[in-house]
Chains A and B, each alone.
Chain A
Amino acid sequence: MAAQEVEVAVSGDVLVVAERFGGEWTEVTFELLAAGREVAQGLGGTLSVAALGRGTTDQVKALGAADVVLYADAPELEAFVPEVHLRVLEAVVRSRQPRAVLVANTSTGMDLAAPLAARLGVPCVAYCRRVWVEDGTVVAHSQVYGGKLVAEVALEGPGVLALVAGSYPAEAGRGTGSPAVERIPLPALEGLHSRFLRLIEPEAADVDITREEILVAVGRGIGDRENLGLAEELAEALGGAVCASRPLVDNGWLPKNRQVGKSGLTVKPKLYLAAGISGAPEHLEGMRSAELIVAINTDPKAPIFDVAHYGVVGDVLEILPALTEEVRRRKGEG
């Protein structure tokens, strides 16, 4: 089925696409609702939420921050299958013609935002951190080039915006209103080309990094695998654990359960010491709310310094051992 362009919508309505995992609405759903409310207010339209899944009938109340909950409750929607969810979502958008569709820029939402925009013939804005309205125009800040630059883009007409998780406060999207609730008529779900087989649970961890108070996080700047020992020594001296950015895990240097970020774990330790990590948006998603962030990086313009409280421009191979020595010395004194 080739893409077909839609008539330009003129409403000021906003449609948020709820995200679901393990039978619950995920945190980012409420962040989207918070953002969606601001945009709907700016456009003078209503805020709807598309809530697809199984067992959703009893869970529409949780989406009370919206004016309208459009829900589908069907076994075919239990697990996230990109083709299926896209088909239903496309039907919803074609019938409602919202001005802005807000999707989470997550590992599931990324499979919806761009294809939906292509099918509808409307623009897509990826990696959004902020969305607002100026004189009837939807404006967004998109984080590009690994977070090194921000593009301010304007959407004159309808469009799809993919919002980075952690960009809006979820509390603001946890409304207790009593929205109008409508069941979405499901489009034909035959002739599908993909199906869900199974879910694979993450491996059990020897160390649960989400419970550690002190984390020494290493990134590609550590260079070689044998240098990991420097981070381990510091973590040991501090009484914490080592975690890592994704590339080190992909290389097999550390297990998946030590990965922090979008496709790893979200941590909130008392101290997060980022060594040789650039601070890509996908990494920041998992650690930006740590209480104290210290970053060591040779590049003074690395985006990690935008979220760090203290920064050291320097070589991790020199700074890490110096820190370990200093921590040991102070502890010896104390």
Chain B
Amino acid sequence: MHVVVVGKLVPDLVEDLEVDASGRGLDRQFLKLVLNEFDEHALEEAVLLKEAHGARVTVLAPEAEGVDDALYTALAKGADRAMKLVGLGEAPSSRQIAAALASALPSLGFDLVLTGVQAADDLDGQVGMLLAGYLGLPHVGVVTGVELDPDGSRARVRKEYPGGWLAELEVQLPAVLGIQAAKQPPRYVPVSRVRQAMKEHTLEELSAEPVPVPRLSVRRLSKPEAAGRAEFLDGSPQEVAAQLVSILVERGLVR
């Protein structure tokens, strides 16, 4: 059983995001990149499958500032192999990544591809779902748990529907799953373990042939025009609390 986790690094949303001079892209100069949080869940689910079924886990991510750290961390968490997808240039779109993987993955061989359900920068679609479309493989997104059949030919997955409903589906492998949440929160590994992984492993490279893909023409990237932006209350916590509670009293919400 070979599980391939496809991840990507995305801007840390806690930081300020600035638009570049062209007005159509991100200013990437001081951008801090982190592994997409849903890819963390995909990795966790893969490691859980390894622990339960002895699957081999390969983690793959397009090259980007900080990708080495992310891949070594994945190795420290239990992945067996880590590969950088190279040749796509800076900040490839989801479509470019998916198209490149659709041609590169078959030679790698896999039973299951796990990706995060979505990423904050997938303007042109989610990598996993695009990949499934390209490869014509069965797919399920918004997954919150994967169980494998003992013989490894099928997976039983839990998929979310709106309103807290879940569906249980069975898919024959190979398949592509978009993970929303692993069965348990992603594990933490201390830096010492990551350092150890750096000594024990080398990162491999998978070269991607840039495949022509339909492109979106971005006319403008901007802060949202707030329909009604909040009125801000200033002061010490006590002053703010007094103002806010007065508003609630006025509206009959505190009586």
Complex partner residue of B135 from A2, A21, A306, CB under 8 angstroms: A2
Chain A residues contacting B215 (CB-CB under 8 Å) are: 123
Tell me the bound Cα distance from A80 to B169 in angstroms.
10
Question: Which of A200, A259, A334 is packed against the most chain B CB atoms within 10 Å?
Answer: A200
Contact segment of B13-21, B52-60, B82-90: B13-21
Contact segment of B1-9, B64-72, B192-200, B241-249: B241-249
Complex partner residue of A79 from B139, B167, B220, B249, CB under 8 angstroms: B167
- Distance in Å from the Cβ of A159 to the closest Cβ of chain B? 8
- Whether the pair B232, A123 counts as a contact (CB closer than 8 A) is no
- Whether the pair A143, B224 counts as a contact (CB closer than 8 A) is yes
Q: Mark B129-152, 1 if CB is under 8 A from A, else 0.
A: 111111111111110000000000
Question: Which of A3, A82, A143, A197 is packed against the most chain B CB atoms within 10 Å?
Answer: A82
Contact segment of B73-81, B113-121, B201-209: B113-121
Complex partner residue of A123 from B95, B138, B185, B221, CB under 8 angstroms: B95
- Whether the pair A303, B17 counts as a contact (CB closer than 8 A) is no
Chain B residues contacting A200 (CB-CB under 8 Å) are: 158, 165-168
Complex partner residue of B170 from A110, A116, A197, A334, CB under 8 angstroms: A197
Main secondary structure of the interface of A (DSSP, over half): mixed
| Contact-residue size bin, chain A (C-beta under 8 Å from the other chain) | 35 or more
Known: A2-B135, A150-B221. Contact between A202 and B14, CB under 8 A?
no
Tell me the bound Cα distance from A107 to B227 in angstroms.
26
Chain A residues contacting B131 (CB-CB under 8 Å) are: 118
A121's nearest neighbour on chain B, judged by CB, is B214
Complex partner residue of A323 from B117, B133, B232, B244, CB under 8 angstroms: B244
- Whether the pair B123, A125 counts as a contact (CB closer than 8 A) is yes
- Whether the pair A294, B244 counts as a contact (CB closer than 8 A) is yes
**B187 proximal to A (CB < 8 A):** no
- Whether the pair B170, A310 counts as a contact (CB closer than 8 A) is no
Contact segment of A32-40, A53-61, A69-77, A324-332: A324-332
- Whether the pair A194, B17 counts as a contact (CB closer than 8 A) is no
Report B210-254 residues with CB < 8 Å from chain A CB.
214-233, 237-238, 240-242, 244-245, 247-249, 251, 253-254
Complex partner residue of A83 from B139, B164, B238, CB under 8 angstroms: B139
Report A290-323 residues with CB < 8 Å from chain B CB.
292-295, 299-301, 303, 305-306, 308-314, 318-319, 321-323
- Whether the pair B141, A305 counts as a contact (CB closer than 8 A) is no
- Whether the pair B123, A111 counts as a contact (CB closer than 8 A) is no
Complex partner residue of A1 from B94, B136, B248, CB under 8 angstroms: B136
B238's nearest neighbour on chain A, judged by CB, is A322
Contact segment of A41-49, A92-100, A179-187, A250-258: A250-258
**A283 proximal to B (CB < 8 A):** no
| Contact-residue size bin, chain B (C-beta under 8 Å from the other chain) | 35 or more
Chain B residues contacting A82 (CB-CB under 8 Å) are: 138-141
- Whether the pair B228, A194 counts as a contact (CB closer than 8 A) is no
Tell me the bound Cα distance from A127 to B89 in angstroms.
24
Question: Which of A325, A327, A334 is packed against the most chain B CB atoms within 10 Å?
Answer: A327
Tell me the bound Cα distance from A295 to B245 in angstroms.
14
- Whether the pair A310, B165 counts as a contact (CB closer than 8 A) is no
Chain A residues contacting B169 (CB-CB under 8 Å) are: 81, 194-197
- Whether the pair A118, B172 counts as a contact (CB closer than 8 A) is no
- Whether the pair B170, A326 counts as a contact (CB closer than 8 A) is no
Report A236-286 residues with CB < 8 Å from chain B CB.
238, 250-252, 256-257, 259, 262-266, 270-271, 278
- Nearest first, the 7 A-B pairs at minimum CB distance are A118-B133, A311-B230, A115-B133, A202-B164, A114-B125, A114-B129, A124-B125
Q: List 16 A-B contacts (CB under 8 A).
A: A107-B159, A107-B162, A110-B117, A113-B125, A123-B214, A124-B95, A126-B123, A152-B221, A194-B171, A202-B166, A238-B254, A278-B13, A299-B14, A330-B254, A331-B254, A334-B255
